[in-house]
Amino acid sequence: MAAPPLNDSSVDADSRLVNISCFDLLLIELVPLAERMARAYEASLDRPTPSSTSSTATKRTSKGPPATGPNNAISTSTTAKTTTTTTTTTTTTTPSSISAPSITVTGANTTAASSQPSHTALLAADGLPTTTIFADSVYIRLERLGFRVGEGLSERISRDRPRFNPAGINGGNVGNVNDHHLDVIKFVCKDIWGVVWRKQVDNLKTNHRGVFVLTDNKFRPLTRMSMANHAEALQRARPHLFFPCGIIRGVLSSLGIKATVQAETIDLPSAIFQITTVLPQVKP
């Protein structure tokens, strides 16, 4: 019996259903993938690299004792220098001589303290300590990937909407610049948030001086995250905010706005994003 024909819309690469499913899968697997890649990168730094100088010195010293003569004295001196250099290189590349990275431990009622990895150190999702190299690698990968996704989303979505409020020429009219930034931030809160997380931002605040605070009371990546330890839950939720920060910064960058984006979560599943835009300088 022949199999029923597949629906063309289910296998079409341009199908909206396929695109949404792929994007949802990306959002789900993005943080675990970045953490695995960060662990692999961290492990590669601890592997000793084979030294060509060491093999050369071994060949030179394994030929037996040097014979007497004026030329052989130079050969002996060269071998001694080579052996000394090899010993120094081996000492600096031995894994045991590399100091262990420090871990920042923050308790619920204590201040941050720096200590070596122990049973009190914060653990990542894989159960290993969260070192500085690991945390920085995860942040850079997720934030840069989000930046590129934000640029693409902005180019695709903004073409079908009315033009934004124009900014002042050379930043001469600061009022127009603030209105332009506010119009772009509203575009992020409504259009971009609706496409990526299928809802709008719950609250938007600004001081009209380039600082905007976006509050999402039920941020979708954090809605199914729950743990017995509240502090540990907040720690595990942090990597899931790096990619959204990159998306926001990418959207603003594609529309000509330089900004820094910071995110935090105080009570799951809420998330707060603070955007600080850089106002253009007035040219004389």
Q: Any idea where the domains of the chain sit in the sequence?
A: 132-277
pLDDT at 147: 97
Reduce the DSSP state of residue 98 to 3 states and report it: coil
Q: Say how many C-beta atoms besides its own lie within 10 A of residue 130's C-beta.
A: 25
pLDDT at 127: 66
Burial class (CB within 10 angstroms; exposed 0-12, middle 13-18, buried 19+) of 273: buried
Strands 259-264 vs 113-115: parallel, antiparallel or unpaired = unpaired
Q: How far are the Cα atoms of 58, 124, 129 from residue 36, in angstroms, in the given order?
A: 38, 11, 13
- DSSP letter string, 163-184: PPPPPPGGG--HHHHHHHHHHH
pLDDT at 199: 92
Q: Would the pTM of this model clear 0.85, i.e. be above it?
A: no
> How confident is the chain (284 residues) per 10-residue block, as mean pLDDT?
53 70 80 89 76 51 48 41 39 38 32 35 66 90 95 91 69 68 94 93 93 95 81 87 96 94 93 91 60
Say how far apart CA 32 and CA 34 lie, in whole Å: 5
Is residue 79 within 8 A of residue 60, CB to CB? The reply is: yes
Alpha carbon of residue 218 to chain centroid: 23
Is residue 228 within 8 A of residue 186, CB to CB? The reply is: no
In this structure, is the dihedral angle defined by the CA atoms of residues 154, 159, 160 and 163, taken in order, positive or negative? positive
pLDDT at 43: 86
CATH of domain 132-277: 3.30.1380.20
